[in-house]
Amino acid sequence: MDMISYTFLDEELERLSTMLENFVRNVGVELCVLCDEGGRLITYAPKLENLKPIAHRSAVISAAVNGAIEYLENFVDSGRSLYVSGKTKSVYMLKSEHSFILFVSFLNKTPLGSVKLFSERLMREIHPILESARNRQITNRTIRFEDIAI
């Protein structure tokens, strides 16, 4: 079981979605996912229905990778990001101070420097919303993994 200790208001979720949509459009990435460290999808862009299952899987995988990275950080320097390059696509993950994860998938023709720069900028811009959600903690809800598994 996992404890959720944040609450987003509807208008905050809409604002986050808009910010991710702008990021995807302006930087030219394929998919941007915002999730928590438990693998729960908060929002994603672009908001295409056929991308929703991929966004959910990306959230779960991001949380798992984040857990592995946190374990490995006991042996190496601490970091907040991860970059993985494939033959045609790459992935960049960035973790916020509030344990939220930004997952970005992009074609290799998109410059990595742009993805990093604008991902970090996006994380700074959404920071106040994430902080508000963490501080709100109206009620703690328990979520079982079985309830979110796809």
Q: What is the pLDDT along the chain (150 residues), one digit of tens a residue?
A: 456 688 899 999 999 999 999 999 999 999 999 999 999 999 999 999 999 999 999 999 999 988 887 777 666 665 688 899 999 999 999 998 878 999 999 999 999 999 999 999 999 999 999 999 988 865 545 555 555 555
Instruction: Give the pair of three-digit tokens for residue 141.
Output: 């809800």
pTM, whole model, 2 decimals? 0.84
Domain ranges of the chain: 2-148
pLDDT of residue 1: 45
- Cα–Cα dist 1/72, whole Å: 23
Closest CA to 110 of 24, 32, 29: 29
Give the CATH number of domain 2-148. 3.30.450.30
Quote the CA–CA distance of 104 and 75 in Å, as a whole number. Answer: 26
> According to the model, what pLDDT value does residue 6 have?
87
Measured between alpha carbons, how far is 87 from 108 in angstroms, rounded to an integer?
A: 8
